[in-house]
A = this chain, B = another copy of it.
Amino acid sequence: MSTVKRALSEQTADEILKIINSEYRAGDKIPNEMELAKSLQVSRTTIREAIKLLCAINVVEIRRGNGTFVCGNPGMIKDPMGYRFLDKHKLVRDLYEMCLLFEPEIAALAAEKAIPVLLSKLKDASKNLAASIEDYNKGLIGIIQLIQSASDFHLAIAQCCDNNTLSRFEPLIIEGLLDSYYWNASLLTRYLSKYQDDLVAAIVNKQPDKAREYMRLHLNEGKQFFM
């Protein structure tokens, strides 16, 4: 690849990024190669290379046969905190400690700030977690799916805060914690549902102190696993 070509694909990636930042949101499909080539007046090959660069930094993802979509947290790479370089045993305890520290505050802020559209997403995530616990107990889904629902529930709470950085930190705390632990599944399902409805009600009813307290009670149920 010549230097000029490379520079052009990099410039094009920057142009596409600007378009994404101004017109698209996470999960949106962006225009196809041909449309981008036309509007940016470069070749389809250049577009293809630019898209590859944007894939590499997790700005877009190509879903084969379906198109190119904006990623959830553009620019965040896999394991951005370098957890793989930390001692696994201490990592679980550290993440749990951080979780105890931050999650109650996040729940309280969610109760202060959440607007109806975010609250309805939270209610959906809560229903989904409850359903996943049932499905898991019936053997219909596996542990990974259950953990994903639990993680989505915490993310939905963080998203109620309408704070981009919190939404990016949240998965690093909860998913990190849930991923790092080797689960005793029957205990897990009991733990996951504890105080869940009270917590959601407190956020929906805009009661920050109650939300903080229920999150604390919920997390304390997990002490047996993580410490």
Binding site for B on A (CB under 8 A): 17, 21, 57-59, 73-77, 79-87, 90-91, 94-95, 97-98, 101-102, 105-106, 109, 161, 163-166, 168-169, 172-173, 176
Contacts and interface: CB of A to CB of B under 8 A. Distances in A.
B169 A91 contact: no
Contacts of A81: 75-76, 80, 165, 168-169
A168 B59 CA distance: 23
A165 B176 contact: yes
Copies held by the complex? 2
A170 to B, nearest CB: 11
A203 to B, nearest CB: 15
B74 A77 contact: no
10 contacts: A17-B85, A75-B82, A76-B80, A77-B77, A83-B165, A86-B164, A91-B165, A97-B161, A98-B166, A101-B102
Given A59-B85, A76-B80, A86-B164, A98 B21 contact: no
Contacts of A169: 81, 98, 169, 172
A57 B77 CA distance: 12
A27 to B, nearest CB: 15
A46 to B, nearest CB: 22
Nearest to A76: B82
Across the A-B interface, the 10 shortest Cβ-Cβ residue pairs = A75-B82, A80-B80, A75-B85, A74-B85, A94-B165, A76-B82, A101-B105, A94-B163, A94-B164, A98-B165
Contacts of A77: 77, 80
Contacts of A76: 80-82
Contacts of A57: 82
A114 B126 CA distance: 37
